[in-house]
Amino acid sequence: MHIRTDDIVLVRTGSGRDTRARVLTVLPRQGKVVVEGVARVYKHVRRSQKNPQGGRLSKEMPIQLSNVMLVCTACGQPTRTGARFLDDGSKERFCKKCGSGLGQIAPPRAAHANR
């Protein structure tokens, strides 16, 4: 899974289509992400000590990972990502369109370092 928390993604389908927003949570076992301001629902809450007012709370629900696309920080385009090893043996994500690095995935390992 190449999408992480705090990445900017483009929502490709659904009611939030063509929306660029930040990822709040990634749920890898379910293959879903929670995106800020997308797939909002109302949860009706009874009055309690935690919620003295009660009423309707608006919250984001998870959407399928296949319905979002990562936006590259360098070129600003929605893109697919790949993984590659750097010279020191660390693994990073990279943009398939412009080739720029998008952050480290794994720490350096001697087995993958170029000698």
pLDDT tens string 59-94: 999 999 999 999 999 999 999 999 999 988 899 999
Q: Is the dihedral of CA 33, 31, 67, 91 positive or negative?
A: positive
CA within 13 Å, CB half, 14:
18
Domain annotation for the chain: domains and CATH numbers: 1-71 (2.30.30.30), 74-115 (no CATH)
pLDDT in tens, 18-67: 999 999 999 999 999 999 999 999 999 999 998 898 899 899 999 999 99
Which regions of the chain does DSSP assign to beta strands (E)? 8-11, 19-27, 32-35, 40-45, 55-60, 63-64, 68-70, 81-85, 91-95, 101-106
pLDDT value at position 1?
A: 66
* Token code pair at residue 97: 């369109």
Query: Which residue type occupies 95?
Result: C
Tokens 């360098």, located at residue: 74
